[in-house]
Amino acid sequence: MNTKLPPPHRIAVASYPGREATIEMAEDIAGFLVERGLSAHHASLYDDTLRRQVMERAFDLLIALGGDGTMLRAGHLCAPPQVPILGINIGGLGFLIEIGQDEWRSKVERVLNGDYWLQNRMMLRAEHHRGEEMLGSWDVLNECTIGRGEQVRPVRLFTEIDGFYLTTYVADSLIVATPTGSTAYALAAGGPILPPELRNILLVPVAPHLSIDRAIVLHEGSWVKVTVGTTHQATVCVDGQLPEPLQDQDHVEVRASEHTVQFVRLQEPGYFYRNLTSRMQRNPIVGDEG
């Protein structure tokens, strides 16, 4: 990209908690920034002070150290105040992350010189309803999954699109994903890969039994309502967070969110397909949740 953007001056360095090496790298990056006369604050991504400052737009860039899970949490935090995120990979695959941990100095220097571009990623808004009462709501960067709990029995998922009946899935779950999430759980369930810049909603059933087994791609203006029919435990889970219990006849509504995540990019816009091939030929580090 030839167009330069304004270089950041107030920078938060947020690390995945509990890893000494990650904390040390965050300190090194913050020191690197301070040496260049910039304002830098480093802390855990879950630090209350850092989170409050991000929401108050005290920073114009957040550098997130970790894996894709860290990038999801950073996206939830930074999307409402529109703070761009630069990821440094300390985790496994790093589908969402721009920089490897051994190259951060040269790449951060480029960002400080304004040599970067911003990629907008769509989010979804998910709401859990019981009758007329809304029990919870979430912004979603990857996916919202509605389905069974710990018991290995399918649930019935009465699914509507824009208020019109689509089908009743008898399945383990139904994934409602963004294009970003198309390379996550939805991909593992056999869904298509969507370019990250698209603004579409993806439906992918998981282990459907005598039900529609094809993924469906919806326009961003559509909204999805999934009503659970079950005599046993059911749950809704957003971006890999702890699942919330659902009762029989609870429903979850999902639509495009008003918020957009901004990722800092240094590669050319066609990077997605080039990186996709290399990542799909690798196995992630088992047990890595960063």
Catalytic residues: 68
Could you tell me how many helices (H) and strands (E) the chain has, helices first?
6, 17
Provide φ and ψ at 120, rounded to 5°: -90, 130
Query: Helix axis angle, 68-78 relative to 48-55, nearest 10°?
Result: 50
Give the number of C-alpha atoms closer than 13 A to the C-alpha of residue 16, restricted to the C-beta side: 20
Owner of token pair 């609870």: 250
Residues 6+ apart with CB under 8 A from 109: none
Element (H, E) at 226: strand 223-229
DSSP SS3 for 33: helix
DSSP SS3 for 25: helix
Residues 6+ apart with CB under 8 A from 95: 68, 183, 184, 275, 279
Owner of token pair 């559509």: 222
Look at the chain and count its residues. Answer: 290
Cα 203 from Cα 281, distance rounded (Å): 25
Closest by alpha carbon to 149, among 233, 54, 213? 233
DSSP secondary-structure letter at 45? T
